C-alpha cells in the first residue's frame, strides 16, 4: 500500500485566513496535534499546538503572524514504511501528502497508520510471540523459519531491533500457534537465546486446561 491509499479526507487543512483558535479547535476535535497550512493547494507547512500557544494573539488570522513552519511531507507514491519513518522521526500526529507537482493532496493520520500496520503485521491474529536474542553475525532468517516450520508452525510476522552500539539484536516472531513449547525447545537446542515468550491469557488458560485433561486421562489409565 502507498501513501495515497491511506489519505484521510475528514480533516481539512488550515488556511492562513483562519485564526489560531480555530486551528486549535480543529486539533482538539480530530485529536491531532498538527495541521497542515494550505493556500490554493500549496502546502506551506505544519502548524502545531505549541505554535498556537506561542502566538501573542491567537484570535488573529494565522497569516498575520510570523511562523517558522516546518515542511515535512511524503509523495502520493511513497510506501507506507516511508510514511511511518517520517512520522516517527519527527513525532508527528499527521503526515501531509503531496503530488509530483507539489500540490497538497491530503494527510495521513498516525492513528490510521497504526491501524493499518496492526492489520498487516498479524497483530490481531491469534498466536504466540517469541523474542530471540541473536548476535548480528549469527542471524539467518532461513534457519529461524526452518526451526519454526519443523514444529508445524508458521511465522505470521517478524520484527528486528538492533541495539545501538551493540553486536546484539532482538528478533520478535509472531507465530500462528498458541503452544510455543516445542518451538522454544528447538530454538534452545540450536543454542538460541530465547529472551521471552507470550501468548494471550485465554489461550494460555485453554492450553493449561487441555494439558490438565490429558494428565487426568493418563492417570486414570
pLDDT tens digit sequence for 64-116: 877 778 899 999 999 999 999 999 999 999 999 999 999 999 999 999 998 88
pLDDT means per 10 residues, the chain with 221 residues, are 92 92 94 93 91 85 80 94 93 95 94 86 81 94 96 93 89 93 95 89 50 56 53
> Domain for residue 193, yes or no?
yes
Total domains, the chain: 2
User: Which range of residues forms the domain containing residue 171?
Assistant: 129-220
- Give the bridge partners for 48, in sequence order: 34
Map grid coordinates 511524503 to a residue: 74
Residue finishing a domain among 84, 117, 150: 117
Same domain, 8 and 102: yes
Q: Would you tell me the crossing angle of helices 181-189 and 141-149 to the nearest 10 degrees? A: 140
> Domain for residue 124, yes or no?
no
Same domain, 8 and 113: yes
- Give pLDDT, residue 69: 80
This prediction has a pTM of 0.73
- Give pLDDT, residue 120: 76
- Give pLDDT, residue 72: 93
3 state DSSP class of 36 = strand
> Domain for residue 123, yes or no?
no
Give the Cβ contact number of residue 182 at 10 Å.
13
Same domain, 90 and 140: no
- Give pLDDT, residue 202: 46
Q: How far apart, in Å, are the Cα atoms of 141 and each of 137, 150, 173, 182?
A: 12, 14, 11, 19
> Domain for residue 68, yes or no?
yes
Residue finishing a domain among 67, 95, 117: 117
- Give pLDDT, residue 55: 83
**Mean of pLDDT over the chain:** 87
Same domain, 92 and 142: no
> Domain for residue 38, yes or no?
yes
Same domain, 100 and 34: yes
CATH of the domain at 199: 3.30.70.260
User: Rounded distance, CA 81 to CA 83, Å?
Assistant: 5
Amino acid at each position: 500500500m502507498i501513501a495515497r491509499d491511506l489519505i484521510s479526507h475528514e480533516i481539512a487543512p488550515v488556511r492562513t485566513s483562519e485564526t489560531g483558535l480555530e486551528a486549535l479547535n480543529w486539533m482538539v476535535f480530530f485529536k491531532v496535534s498538527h495541521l497542515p497550512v494550505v493556500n490554493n493547494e500549496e502546502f506551506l507547512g505544519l502548524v502545531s499546538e505549541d505554535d498556537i500557544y506561542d502566538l501573542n494573539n491567537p484570535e488573529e488570522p494565522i497569516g498575520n503572524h510570523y511562523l517558522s513552519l516546518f515542511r515535512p511531507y511524503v509523495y502520493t507514491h511513497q510506501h507506507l514504511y516511508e510514511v511511518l519513518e517520517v512520522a516517527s522521526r519527527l513525532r508527528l500526529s499527521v503526515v501531509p501528502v503531496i503530488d509530483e507537482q507539489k500540490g497538497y493532496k491530503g494527510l495521513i493520520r498516525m492513528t490510521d497508520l497504526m491501524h493499518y500496520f496492526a492489520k498487516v503485521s498479524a497483530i490481531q491474529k491469534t498466536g504466540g510471540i517469541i523474542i530471540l536474542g541473536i548476535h548480528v553475525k549469527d542471524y539467518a532468517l532461513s534457519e529461524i523459519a526452518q526451526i519454526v516450520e519443523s514444529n508445524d508452525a508458521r511465522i505470521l510476522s517478524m520484527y528486528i531491533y538492533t541495539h545501538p552500539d551493540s553486536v546484539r539484536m532482538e528478533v520478535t516472531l509472531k507465530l500462528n500457534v498458541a503452544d510455543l513449547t516445542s518451538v522454544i525447545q528447538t530454538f534452545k537446542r540450536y543454542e538460541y537465546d530465547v529472551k521471552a515468550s507470550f501468548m494471550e491469557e485465554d489461550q494460555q488458560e485453554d492450553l493449561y486446561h487441555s494439558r490438565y485433561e490429558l494428565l487426568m486421562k493418563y492417570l486414570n489409565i
